[in-house]
Chains A and B, each alone.
Chain A
Amino acid sequence: MAGMSFLVDTSRCTACRGCQIACKNWNQNGAGMTKNLGTHQNPPDLDGNTFKLVRFSEHLKDGKPVWYFFADQCRHCIEPPCKDAIQGYVDGGVIHDEETGAVVYTEKTKGVPVDEVRASCPYDIPRAKDDGTVVKCTMCIDRVRNGLKPACVKVCPTGAMNFGTRDEMMALAQERLAALKGKFPKAQLLDPDDVRTLYLVTDDPALYHPYAVAGVRPGISRKLALRKLFFAPARNVAKGLRMG
């Protein structure tokens, strides 16, 4: 399994949000007039203009605060369930790039019910733009094809965001995991065999984000999600026909 991968080393993330802004900059995604909702996390969630979001979560551990940052984005699954969900509605809605492994949505996703696509995603990533196009992180495929790093990786000052061939990233992930294990016994990689966005966390993933790993979602395990998508296309094809 070649292609490219991200490594998001959360132990190095300072939540400067350079990645979140760089993503908007490269994709020329607009900003909303948000409110402060009692947290630094803003916008509150991924949206049609926000493909990358740093999630903040704070907890007490042994009487002292801990503050976890999770730079959430598409995992670019090795076998992307969303691809089948979208293809059920429209051909050519998703390009699964052979060379990089990037999962890229096209303008043809316009009109595909975003809730269905979201439900198919074990990490709750896809969102719709105002015009109904379903969107998410593109792995900066336009940059990567031109020999550049994705925008979020380019701006990261600490080495939290990394990008390279899958072998390189896996090796780096294992090296960092080994280095962190001593101090953080719960350090782990999240679903490393299934995704191209490898997250390295130092604590229970649920403390970072409910969708940090597949299957944390209430009522749906990753296995179940995968099984669901196995049956999904037929149903969606039917729906798609009705839509047509």
Chain B
Amino acid sequence: MTNHWIDIKNSDCILIMGSNAAENHPISFRWVTEAQKNGATLISVDPRFTRTSSKADFYTALRSGTDIAFLGGMINYILSNNKYFKEYVARYTNACFIVGKKYGFHDGLFSGFDPKTRKYDKSYWAYELDENGVPKKDYTLKHPRTVFQLLKKHFSRYTLDKVSAVTGTPKEDLVKVYELYSATGKPDKAGTIMYAMGWTQHTVGVQNIRTMAIIQLLLGNMGVAGGGVNALRGESNVQGSTDHCLLFHIWPGYLPTPTASAATLADYNKKYTPVSHDPLSANWWQNRPKYVVSFLKAMFGDAADAGNDFGYGWMPKLDDGKAYSWLDLFDAMYRGEFSGFFAWGQNPACSGANAAKTREALTRLDWMVNVNLFDNETASFWKGPGMDPGKVKTEVFFLPCAAFMEKEGSVTNSGRWAQWRYKAQDPPGEAKPDGDIMVELFNEIRSLYAKEGGVFPDPILNLKWDYTTDGKFDAHKVARTINGEFTRDVTIKDKTYKKGQLVPSFAFLQADGSTTSGNWLYCQSYNESGNNMARRDTTDASGIGLYSNWAWCWPVNRRILYNRASVDLMGRPWNPKKPVIAFAGEVRDGKYVTNKWVGDVPDGGWYPMMNPDGTLRTDTKYPFIMKPHGFGGIFGPGRNDGPFPEHYEPIECPVEKNLFSSQFTNPVAAVYGTEKDVYKTCDPRYPFVGTTYRVTEHWQTGVLTRWQPWLLETEPQLFVEMSEELARLRGIKNGEKVIVESPRGAVEAVAMVTKRFRPFLVQGQEIHQVGLPWHYGWVWPPDGGDSANLLSPSAGDPNTRIPETKAFMVNVRKKGV
């Protein structure tokens, strides 16, 4: 979230689309309800009428996989009806940038596409630069190659007729949503979006979110209270694990993982440190070398110094051009490319798309270790449906681990708040905290390397590994390393910091090895003022619910990101009733002469852009400090599938053509080629759109919740929700068992015939959609059903490679027919 949970209460209009917050983030509804009490409008857009929809002031449905069409229509509406926030758009977004002449868009393809490699050459989308290398701008937005004019042209094709024909949403409903939401384009109004996996899990996942980000920038909703682009994370600590580099493409704090061609630290810094020639651009990532060296010092301690590139050479590198995402790893496992696997705190036999491929892949391993609380479909895959235990060679080890309340540490919520938790009780039996399992494992690995050597022992032998107290994992020691400390006495701005002292915040991090920081974004979370994540002050000085002394949030306890866009050029809040920050410096002769902000931690504490007398300042920076040029990105030339979003059909869809272009699906989508990677579009055997989702009562694959009798009692079996019309068509009665099948697999499910699913009218055709939760598996309970991911396809977004589990094709039939 750019904002945070409590901030939802400040919103004037809440759009819940691509998520089902009432069911999957139930506590968030405290704040949604609070906003509604204060007069906010709640809009729910979902293929299925959900518990969220039941609380909405306005609900409408769209066919799964058509969000860009729906939102593209909103962009068109906003621009055609002058609903955008002109000053904000002109001054704070890259709408004013002039794009180079090589940019083009024709019939669904952007310029620079190479059909042979199925990749874009992004240099075709570069900005036109002035003599200093700064993008040329036209603040009047009239130049035909400004981002603004290109945007207008691009989305002028998203007419109500076309959008309605693609999405299946009635035109009057589209207009209603567009009207309600675009009313937040006024300076003192804020609209927010709550989205989750309903947007990300598509072959156009990133562009779904980009489309909404564009809307938020057009309406001036970024940086303000009650606004933002708010991702509701799918687990309580997904935000934390992402911050600390759960994913293959990043190191902690969103530093890119190097590829093999960046052989030295100098190569790395050159390749990954963005450059801006504009003195008014903070270009915050220019500090990357400081964060990288501090990270390497945290990894290797005293063994890392300038003489050995701070151990950069010991860090693993990615092969250039190769992805190592979930889908790619299981594809490689399926093809026998590696032989050992730790399934740690996860249940891939149920959680990943195309679960049959995953289960088969597990049989190709020599060994697998599953660390989990309960038996599950991964640990027991070798005796699962269709498996012959005698023929499975994989040796499986199961390590029982502690649950969250049986260990101490931090959890970072969707709003970026790192909150410290204490241990409530000891884990049962032989179960151990994950930290202890890792400590024991690594000690053993290291002693083996010390004893026997190995191909490349240096990273193992040089790793700093001082995270135990009395032989047990100590979360406080890890937290200290994450924050970082000074490695020698250092004087910064006339103040001397002693060796071993914790670094106050990331502004103090250095590229010379004098500081460590396991994650620069968390520098300040655990410093000399204490464990800031453990703070529990419930007072709120802000009046808008920032609660700045409750826990700690990254970066530097800034509760609302991009908050310098919440004020005008002179530093005055766009909405004086809900100020996030305000400039309070003194004025002399029409000029600001002292620098003081009040409210949230400002996004860079520079002077406002303009003096009260209207003169522009030169000692300031643009508000979007993380972007190289300092402006909010309406144009996004860094994405793999184009600088503007464009509607493409899902890899599997019920229509024969894409009404927007002859480019049917995302031309650069991630698809795979084994015999298990089957994709069927417009195949009469699979006539219905299928989607997967979650319920309140279960968590993920249900490994924890299916063993919890009170929860299982409420949602005991796999179900498939379908419309009354579809049930009639297939002769299905409510509550009876049916078969749901896709080109990849089949599951048995209880039919839940409901008024909450309705057929869609798409391109003049009646289209049915069904949905299933993916919480079930064959291990427990008996007759509970199996994973809905046996149906979903292993195809993914070209940027994130997240699988398309929200839109695919299935058949539904009565059992035995």
Contact = CB atoms under 8 A, between A and B. Distances in A.
A43 B710 CA distance: 10
B712 A31 contact: yes
A66 B50 CA distance: 10
A31 B713 contact: yes
Interface in A35-72: 35-40, 42-43, 58-60, 64-69
Contacts of B695: 40
Contact of B756 (A31, A37, A58): A58
B760 interface: no
Contacts of B755: 58-60, 65
A218 interface: no
Contacts of A34: 713-714, 716
Contacts of B711: 21
Interface residues of B, number: 41
A59 B754 CA distance: 9
Nearest to B733: A38
Contacts of B750: 35-38
B752 A38 contact: yes
Contacts of B697: 17
A38 B717 CA distance: 10
Interface string A13-46: 0111110110011000011111111111011000
B447 interface: no
A33 B54 contact: no
A158 interface: yes
Given A16-B22, A36-B735, A60-B755, A158 B713 contact: no
A69 B755 CA distance: 15
A70 B139 CA distance: 55
Contacts of A32: 713
Contacts of B37: 179
Contacts of B53: 65, 67
Contacts of B783: 35
Given A38-B751, A42-B715, A30 B27 contact: no
B714 to A, nearest CB: 5
A12 interface: yes
B781 interface: yes
Nearest to A29: B710
Interface string A118-161: 00000000000000000000000000000000000000011100
B607 interface: no
Contacts of B714: 17, 20-21, 34, 40, 42
Contacts of B51: 14-16, 67, 69
Given A14-B54, A67-B53, A24 B710 contact: yes
A37 B750 CA distance: 8
Interface in B22-69: 22-23, 26-27, 29-30, 33, 37, 49, 51-55, 59
A52 to B, nearest CB: 12
B785 to A, nearest CB: 9
Contacts of A42: 713-716
Contact of B752 (A36, A64, A65, A67): A36
Given A21-B710, A36-B752, A159-B30, 9 more contacts: A14-B52, A17-B696, A18-B26, A33-B712, A38-B751, A38-B752, A40-B714, A65-B755, A69-B54
Interface of A: 12, 14-18, 20-21, 24-25, 30-40, 42-43, 58-60, 64-69, 157-159, 179
